[in-house]
Amino acid sequence: MNVLNRNVLVLNYSYEPLNITNVKRAVCLILLDKAQRVENMNGKVLRYINGEFKVPSVIRIMRYINPFKRKVKFSRANIIKRDGGRCQFCGKKSKNLTIDHVIPLSMGGKHSWENCVACCPECNIKKGDRTPEMANMELLSKPKEPNIYTFLGDGEFARRQEWRKYLFLSQQ
């Protein structure tokens, strides 16, 4: 994998995790004095004509950003991610999940976090254009809007030892 496409943890001014970006963007933020390097990737450097630049693993934004004002983008991929890649009716894990509107749009349901769930094609066909109660189906969990911390963990914190301490700081 190209080192410029590797992931870099972005911390808020207060050292809370904000985002994950790539090395290319992180280096740009550092060079523009919008961020500072907190930790480096072990032994990774970018070489240029006049020397070397240590590749950052963790950077810190130089101004405070209110994390509660940041919203997770409403998208099919993020609905599936929020629901753990499982159908919210039968619990089956699948790569080809669809999105189901709990209250169908034809009945006044909204296209929102609180009304959309991941659903396998079989359950989506079974439910059809009805509410779960009408189809005699039950949701495994009530859909709600996720916070940004839900999407930061995504398994990478477990694999990247140098990132773990920043995740735990945000949950205290």
Question: Does this model's pTM top 0.75?
Answer: no
Kindly list the domain boundaries of the chain, sorted by start residue.
3-69+149-170, 76-127
Q: Are 137 and 104 in contact (CB under 8 A)?
A: no
Tell me which CATH code domain 76-127 carries.
1.10.30.50
Q: Are 88 and 118 in contact (CB under 8 A)?
A: yes
**pLDDT tens digits for 16-47?**
888 888 999 999 999 999 999 999 888 888 88
58 pLDDT exceeds 90? yes
**pLDDT tens digits for 82-110?**
999 999 999 999 999 999 999 999 999 99
- b or e along 144-154 (b: 16 or more beta carbons within 10 Å of the residue's beta carbon)? eebebeeebee
